[in-house]
Structure 1
């Protein structure tokens, strides 16, 4: 889905991808002439296709050329503007990535940083981290308790001067202390936190976030300190390229690649860049892109099912402050028809999504949408009437207190045709119930920073990615605190939802936590916060010979193993 803007959920610490990420996925319309294709991929929890190869079959050296959908300005993944998905991924290659998940989402400590990490007490909950003594930052300082403490103190929400992405998990911590020696860190929680492996990942250095100014401003257009297998080589804003090179002081297995060059491209240009051998992968998730890429020279299609969802968010300002109006919009939109627009010509079935927190292939998933996502024009009109919006002449918007019911759909000007088609379909559907919707195209580079992140939309569509495990999704629906909306750009919340999500994140019994998350999700549907559309499969065209990289599931990429087959 070429052009879905992405907010990535900073998976181990906050949410959105990580943030965040979003690449709104667009696919070509039914009228594109591409026709339909067999839906031959069925989501499974560990579906992935990344050409796994042992290291002895991978060349030493070589360049990997990924596309970037927008320029990265804020590199601090804990700062509210640092949640863009590609930025988070790059930071995980250049900072201390404490854990990786396997294809089924099981956390495993990364040995270059952690000898071990485990719960050593349950009452109170204490997590003891034993750090690899070789682990150090590019300024020569050992990775240690000072870094854990700095992340906690800046991100726990107690000091509003730190403009944080999310305090979930960190606000439950009561202390961070050195253990038996300099390589041991003890983190004590005053309330249980089930997904503690989300936290401090990636760990970033205390020297870079010791003050609010450093936290908020010190990572703009630069990464001041490194601690991963790669470091930033060059940032060329004029050429819109960012190059990573191996960290010469890296103590772990030497990366196979000797360069990773990211290039910012408008979404429609990525397909052609792949065909021109200018980038090494491109989304093939739209009918147009799939048609062009499926037989590309030196290309192969790889598919997988990660945590990735596409939705339409409703704003919380103006007329939409009224829950009844938001609920009416949800009933007026035909989800099946919208999904069909973007699924046309793509070899994977897009599954309707009935949950904001779980994917369809995730343990614990249940459809909580009830009547709130059922196409019901009569029901929408009834809600609008009860809310005081009176029907007008045919083709004219409803009115209330003399004001017409006019809303705005914010759309990136880099959107693929299917995204545009979907917005047009939404516009037509809402007109049928008396809502005038204007589609406002805004510069793709400003879509998040100036519009979504600021809550300046009535309707908008993007992806949330990597909001896993469950507590990572809390930031999208928690109540804002002052000017900090975390990942809840609609700014819509209730104390009941907030309490359910917090309690679920503190529940160590997985089965009981699932019940609480699902109860919260049902209330999110009733709130009219977000109309979930579908779970988005990963469909990529990848350069032949690229190993240990492709379309994933819940697994993290080990960038040291990515390279080109011999």
Structure 2
């Protein structure tokens, strides 16, 4: 959609590189991490074919097997399960490009415009693990569960593009298909840049909603359309993969890949150093780069780059207190984002600045700070109190009293258990609330996805959560429109219309302008407050080649079939 400016890659950093590799400048011994390498080729190298086992440390257990739902679209779960679920387009680590999955497809291209028409051809070698050919039925299934007119109760997190489809036409042999949009669609590659599922299996488990919402979410897949298939699973402990015997791409190298749950992020470096795990994408924590740098003797390297994930506070607009925009504005006016950034991520990377946009990231063309117009995040307590007074609030001692005469009750700020940075974020928010007489308590959750969707009886008032940016800015923004999977409570016609205008734009430049209009309206709703962009960190044993960060929807395992053990390791 838009071109990203070059991402700055610390990739260990030149000084730390020498310490970690044990080599002098210019040496190129086995396992040496090159700081100057492109994000798309970082840690590239030859591997031993068909041998090796790797354990990946993750901090969150799998709560849903369906990575296309809000509950299942969790970074750790997607890293594991996207090794089973194929996709047409693969986001590359630079966050700037997509590549066609040539294992799955032979062709995907626009054949005409006004409206946009795209033709797809599936590789004749592509099959599911039961031997059934991957066909147009599988793509049509994803289209159907993604379109509210066809399946209004399907709980998919991102319908972007699919509701703009006018016709889906499959060839008689189902080896190819054509998609005709209702109008021009600027981000047409977004349509199948996410996982597809086996329609022939889904049909055996009820209608669209039943198969997608229940069967696919609750049932561990015994099938695969990717390079690996599940070998074993211990709930809350680990998930182990083995090579898919029906894999239609180049043979994989690793013969066993285990995703091991280590819920306390602080234990990740210890697990790396003692060999319990080989790879991890730890949440940025204070002193983490220094800690990882100290693991040189354990042959551990790491890569750090500016990521597309951004931290935020998300508000529950169904809460009686937070329904009042004056309260929301006041709390976020009293909050000092510069102080929050300095006390949290700033201790990892002092160059990180507060983020002023929800839909466009710092490194993307068209970025504008929309929070400054409302003066959000400036730590202005007196200004915040003025907002509340003007809205009819008063104080009884230090307690804030609502216009109805009742004191503001205890509110909660939910964060993922074991995530120290988010704990600190919630505590800083609590301090800002206390200055206004609004009590906010930090509480933990073991499943942020379930909490944000208020599943299993969970709820929240504020949540410290991350969202992922994308080079496909228009369609990525679609998730914030009314009724979408990531829009939990907000309704705003200006947001909806702005994003619709962006999607239908005839050029990327027009799309960015329209997205910024919608973004400004969403910031004004004070439903989500962007905080900062997370540094992306990947730590790995240096005997492994081709493991690298990918801070896009494709994730860490986007190229897992290329992972392997370096010769001589």
Is 514-523 or 296-305 further displaced after alignment? 296-305
Indicate which of 362, 380, 389 corresponds to 2:393: 389
CA contact (8 A) 2:430 2:440 kept: yes
How far off its partner does 1:453 sit? 4.6
Question: How many Å separate the matches in 2 of 1:322 and 1:284?
Answer: 33
| 1:223 equivalenced with 2:221 (yes/no) | yes
- Residue matched to 2:105: 114
Q: Distance in 1 between matches of 2:406 and 2:471?
A: 43
Q: Counterparts of 1:60-459 in structure 2 under 5 Å?
A: 60-102=50-92, 103-158=94-149, 159-179=151-171, 181-200=173-192, 201-210=194-203, 211=207, 212-219=209-216, 220-237=218-235, 240-266=237-263, 267-282=265-280, 283=282, 285-296=284-295, 297-317=298-318, 318-347=320-349, 349-372=351-374, 373-375=376-378, 376-393=380-397, 395-412=398-415, 414-439=417-442, 441-444=443-446, 446-451=447-452, 453=454, 456-459=459-462
Contact persistence 2:479–2:485 (CA under 8 A): yes
Could you tell me how far 1:499 is from its partner in structure 2? 1.1
**Structure 1 residue 516, shift from structure 2 partner:** 0.3
Say whether the 8 Å CA contact 1:112–1:135 is kept in structure 2: yes
Asked if 2 retains the 8 angstrom alpha-carbon contact of 1:151 and 1:209, the reply is no
Offset of 1:116 from its aligned partner?
1.1
Deviation at 1:468, TM superposition (A): 4.2
Q: Determine the C-alpha separation between the residues in 2 that align with 1:348 and 1:183.
A: 52
Residue-by-residue CA offset, 1:472-520 (whole Å, 9 max, x unaligned)? 433542112xxxx51113x112111111112212223100000000111
1:257-284 CA-partner distances (Å, limit 9, x unpaired): 1111001111333232222211123427
User: Structure 1 residues 453, 515: closer, same or farther in 2, change over 3 A?
Assistant: farther
Which range is displaced more, 241-250 or 277-286?
277-286
Partner of 1:19: none
**2:18 maps to which residue?**
none
* Cα deviation, residue 530, structure 1: 1.2
User: Residue 209 of structure 1 aligns to a residue in which SS?
Assistant: helix
In 2, the alpha carbon distance for the partners of 1:147 and 1:178 equals: 11
Runs of 4+ aligned residues of structure 1 deviating over 4 Å after TM superposition are: 451-455, 553-556
Kept in 2, the 8 Å contact 1:145–1:176? The answer is: no
Which ranges of structure 1 fall in alignment gaps of 5 or more residues? 1-10, 12-45
Residue equivalent to 2:14? none
Aligned length: 513
Contact 1:59–1:256 (CA under 8 A) maintained in structure 2 = yes
Distance 2:340 2:467 in 1: 18
* Structure 1 contact 128–185 (Cα < 8 Å) conserved: yes
Q: Displacement, 1:429?
A: 1.6
Find the partner of 1:492 among 463, 473, 490. Answer: 490
Q: Aligned partners of 2:106, 2:300: CA distance in 1, in Å? A: 39
Alpha-carbon distance, 1:464 to partner: 1.2
Cα deviation 1:97-140 (Å, max 9, x = unaligned): 21123325222211111111011121232110011111111222
- 1:144-189 per-residue CA deviation (whole Å, 9 max, x = no partner) reads 2111111111111122232222322111112211247532210111
In the alignment, what sits opposite 2:17?
Answer: none
Q: Does the 8 Å contact 1:58/1:547 carry over to 2? A: no
Cα deviation digits, residues 219-240 of structure 1 (max 9, x gap): 21411431111111111227x1
Q: 1:150 to 1:421 in 2, by over 3 A?
A: closer
- Is this contact kept in 1: 2:331–2:432, CA < 8 A? no
Judge conservation of contact 1:52–1:548 (CA < 8 Å) in 2: yes
- In structure 2, the CA distance between the partners of 1:84 and 1:208, relative to structure 1 (3 Å rule), is farther
SS in 2 for 1:65: strand
CA distances 1:348-396 after superposition (whole Å, capped 9, x unpaired) = 6222111101111122222222233241222211111122211231x32
CA contact (8 A) 2:161 2:475 kept: no
- Deviation string 1:440-459 (CA, Å, 9 cap, x unpaired) is x2342x43314555582221
- Offset of residue 52 of structure 1: 3.1
Q: Secondary structure at the match of 1:336?
A: helix
Q: Distance in 1 between matches of 2:223 and 2:183?
A: 32
Q: Equivalents in 1 of 2:283, 2:213: separation in Å?
A: 36
> What is the match of residue 461 of structure 1?
464
Give 3-state SS (helix, strand or coil) of 1:406's partner: coil
TM-score, length of structure 1 as denominator length:
0.85
Per-residue CA shift, 1:245-266, capped at 9, x if unaligned? 1111112111111111001111
Q: Indicate if the aligned counterparts of 2:413 and 2:426 stay in contact, CA closer than 8 A.
A: no
